[in-house]
Amino acid sequence: GAVVSQHPSRVICKSGTSVKIECRSLDFQATTMFWYRQFPKQSLMLMATSNEGSKATYEQGVEKDKFLINHASLTLSTLTVTSAHPEDSSFYICSARQGVGYTFGSGTRLTVV
Amino acid sequence: GESVGLHLPTLSVQEGDNSIINCAYSNSASDYFIWYKQESGKGPQFIIDIRSNMDKRQGQRVTVLLNKTVKHLSLQIAATQPGDSAVYFCAESWVNTPLVFGKGTRLSVIA
């Protein structure tokens, strides 16, 4: 079945630094990927839709200059959290659409100290 | 019993009993619905899906019911096991838009 690999699974960084999270579709091509953020004991909130070869579409309230998304190939989308702050600490999850289905990565736990 | 916590409602069931998890979705135009299971620190795991032209779909030990009139979705788990303990989310989509997730319910199975 469709597999989405997300790395790293866990990262700790200092305030002010940037962190890159990768999302790869391993056995299929994904023209569209999605990035979600999840705070403890809450649901997944869509941050942005990543489109291969074009600019990402951000949801209302998500700063595009802070959360940089690059979808340079049909199997890789990256999310870079720039100038991270403690309030950016969260669980970030990517998803790729294959046909009518959606496959999720295993998530990245970001802790900003 | 069911209780509403600070963020996630919790459903506690005895092992072997059936579980029913409910979800109210937001968009009457939604045509595709999915139930996901999420364990701590992991991504969502697909359980079962249903399209809007159906009102019931069965899988192994799970059944999804869709009531479009009241925009309600439910997940029934038969003979609940300790391994079913997790947070369950419903998600909706329409015309291939991104999935929008519901608030989630924590299922706690009492051995």
Tokens 């999840």: give the residue. Answer: A38
Residues B101, B87 contacting (CB under 8 angstroms): no
CB contact under 8 Å between A106 and B103, yes or no, is no
Asked whether the beta carbons of residue A105 and residue B43 sit closer than 8 angstroms, the reply is yes
The Cα angle at residue A54 between residues A15 and B26, in degrees rounded to 5:
75
Nearest-CA distance from B104 to chain A in Å?
Answer: 6
Per CB-CB distance under 8 Å, the chain B contacts of A93 are: 43-44
Decide the pairing of beta strands B32-38 and B86-93.
Answer: antiparallel
Taking the C-alpha atoms of residue A100 and residue B66, their distance in angstroms, rounded to an integer, is 18
Cβ neighbors of A22 (< 8 A, separation 6 or more) are: A5, A6, A7, A76, A77, A78
pLDDT digits 0-9 by tens, B78-97: 999 999 999 999 999 988 78
What's the confidence (pLDDT) of residue B6?
47
When scoring B26, B45, B46, B106 by the number of chain A Cβ atoms within 10 A, the one with the most, hence best to mutate, is B46
Q: For the residues of B5-51, what is the DSSP string, one character each?
A: -SSSEEEEEETTS-EEEEEE-S-TT--EEEEEEE-TTS--EEEEEEE
Query: In chain A, which residues have their Cβ closer than 8 Å to the Cβ of B40?
Result: none
Whether B68 shows a pLDDT value over 50: the answer reads: yes
Residues of B in contact with A44 (CB under 8 A): 44, 89, 101
Residue B61: other Cβ atoms inside 10 A: 15
pLDDT in tens, chain A (113 residues): 789 999 999 999 999 999 999 999 999 999 899 999 999 999 999 999 999 988 999 999 999 999 999 998 999 999 999 999 999 999 999 999 887 789 999 999 999 99
Q: What is the pLDDT of residue B4?
A: 40
Can you read off the two tokens belonging to residue B46?
């697909």
| Identity of the residue numbered B56 | K
> Which candidate, A111, A109, A2, places its Cα nearest to that of B46?
A2
* A109, closest residue in chain B (CA to CA): B41
Confidence of residue B7 (pLDDT cuts 50, 70, 90): low
CA–CA distance, B54 with B33 (Å, rounded to integer): 11
